[in-house]
Structure formats: C-alpha cells, structure tokens
Amino acid sequence: MLNLKNIDTKIVLKVLFTGLLMLDVTNAWAQNNPAVPQMAGQKMFQSDSQLTYFNQDRYEMVELASPEFAEAPKNVILFIGDGLGVTHVSAALTVNGGQLNLNHMKHIGFSQTQSKDRYVTDSAAGGTAIATGQRVNNGAIAMDASGEPIPSILHISEQNGKATGLVATSDIAHATPASFIAHQPSRSMYEEIAADFLKTDIDLFIGGGLNNFANRSDGVDLTLALKEKGYQVFYSLEESACASKAPMAVFTAPGHNPEYDERGNMLELATKKAIEVLSKDENGFFVMIEGSQIDWASHHNITPYLLGEVLDLDKAVGVALEFAAQNGETLVIVTSDHETGGLALHDGSYEHGFIEARYSSDNHTGVMVPVFAYGPGAELFLGIYDNTDIFHKIHSLFGF
C-alpha cells in the first residue's frame, strides 16, 4: 500500500503541474492546428465514452456477382481513408461483427507513407505521393521543392481521354483532394486551390467548400466561371439527383461537411453519383473518393466518431465493389495517406460489437498503412512498397 507520508509534497505538486501543463499544450495544439477542424468545447482528453464504442447499427456486406475481369482496368476507383491504419480497420471489423465490405478485397499490401522531408507525413505530401508518384515536402500540394508543378494521375487520365472525378467528405479544396487537381506551395491556400479546378476539365467533383469558390476574399465567384465552362452546379446531392451528364460540380456544404451521423449517407450517394456520371465515358474513368474525417476523429482521439467514419467509408466501398463486380473492367483500391492517432485496441467483442481503444498520439504516425485492391490488376498491389508506387501501378495498368 502506498505510504503517502513518504512522498515529498513538492514532487506531487510537480507531477500534477506537469500533467496539467501537458494537457494544456495538447489542447492548444488541437485548437491551433489548421489541419484539424475544431469541435466545439472539445478537449483532448478522453472520457470512457470517447474511448469505447458499441455499434448499434450493424450492416451486412454487399453480395457480389461472380466477376470475370478484363486483363487490365478501364476504370479506377481510388478510395483514400485519411488517417486510416490497420488498427482502424481491425476496430471497424470488430464492431461490425467480423464483416466489412473490405473483406471482399483479397489482394492486400502495405504502403510506406514517408514524405520527402519528414518521416511522418502530412496529408498534403501523403496525398501528393499517391497522386503524382513523387514525394514532396510536407505542406506542398503537387509541387516539388523548386516550385515546379507535378502532374497527377487525374491530370494524366484527363489528357488521355478518360473522365475524371473527385469526392470528399471534407472541403473539396482540402489537402488530399487538392493533391490530385491543384499545384500550390501550401495546403492552406484554399482559394488558390479552388481556382486551380478551373484550369482542368474535371468531369465531376462532390464535396464541401462552396465558400472557397463563391465567397472569396478577391470577390470572384468561381461558380459563375464553372457555369461558363458548361458545368452544372448544384448545392446539394438532392439537387443533382436527376442529373447524370458531365461536367458537374456538387457542393454539399459551405465549408467542411458535418460528421457522419449528421450528413447521413452522403458518401454512399456521392459514390453512386460519381459512378453514374463517369461510367458514361467510353474511354473509362479515374475517380478519387476520400473518407476525410477518419483523420479528424483520430486527431481528437474520439473512438465513436472514428469508427462511424470508417464504417461510412466501408459502405461507400461496397457501392464501388458492386459496380466493379458487374462491370469487370474496374479496379477498386482502398488505402490511406498515413495513420493518425497511434490507435491501439485494449478490448473488444465481435459478438457485442464493442471496442475499447487507446491512443499513443493526437497526430499522424509513421507506420505503414494497408492497401486493398479488387478487380483487374489487383495482384500488383500485394507486398510492401512506397506510397509513390500506387501512382506508378495505376499509371502502368492504364497503359499510359
């Protein structure tokens, strides 16, 4: 038994002061980090309700037709779960009773996520590596250290006659989607990134961030410019329900979209819309679809938020897999730009859909992340490789 008489009061006070100081530092980091959207009143310490999760809404895996795949894909659907690590997938698998749509994806590899100048990447450099096949410094959007723009797989697909698209549950000008369409020295240049959309002929994009297009500091309304280029511009997915002709821009929020439990099945519907519109192109298509908020939940170390976002992504993956199994010419890839949170599972139950988690970080980590593949060319994604190799594998499979 601890003998309090033998403990120096000064040491006790020092320990308490240090703990409070570290808590204040952690809270200040979250409140001042522009990459992490803020949650009203949220503190970066966890109650039991923030560390545990009981899934009350389990779902079944989609049933897939027996596919006959082409030798090479005509279409690629690339999902990026921002911040998604192996443990995130394990946790989601547990709370959904041992089944995810990801279970259909039998070809699995690991991506090493380092950036050019850091062992631990940020989303700008992580997204750029996947999008362009080159590692850049943290914070850069598809630009090398000398300021030269690097073409992305989206740009190259467009140049080769394929339809292209972007979908995100964040602001569409946020780091990951931006890496596929923009060229800027800093990820924080949201209005400049939005302007870069007009420099492409992207066929469809769906996400938040209307303010970066229509409520800008320079007074320019880029939605008018989009319309002049022939885009149908919608301000919700519901508005776009009857439209299926490209080019199309669908803004789902002024800034970031809300969390999974407030935005409903937005990501599933956006995935369906993207496939509906882009698959009309006889030359095929490339689309990147991001589950953006897995990262934010992991930064905040909030397990229910995190798992809700992972399961939301998995449901959208199910939509893509159903299409790919029927189509036979579509490669579906699910990966991540980095892991966030240093997530560990301390307890759980497949039967009860329960998980208890702990976190070693409120930031990104340097561990490898999973790569799941399904469809023609999926076997190329086995093994361990650099994040840049994802670009090169897609580029090779497209025959560019």
Query: Which residues are catalytically annotated?
Result: 123
DSSP β-bridge partners for residue 270: none
Q: Could you give the 3-state DSSP secondary structure of residue 59?
A: coil
Distance CA 400, CA 397 (A): 8
Cβ atoms of 141 and 182 within 8 Å: the answer is yes
Structure tokens at 130: 């996947």
Q: Is 56 exposed, middle or buried (0-12, 13-18, 19+ CB in 10 A)?
A: exposed
* Tokens matching residue 85: 């690590």
Q: Which helix (H) or strand (E) is 79 found in, with range? A: strand 75-81
How deeply is 334 buried, as exposed, middle or buried, from its count of CB atoms within 10 A (0-12, 13-18, 19+)?
buried
Judge contact between 54 and 353, C-beta under 8 A: yes
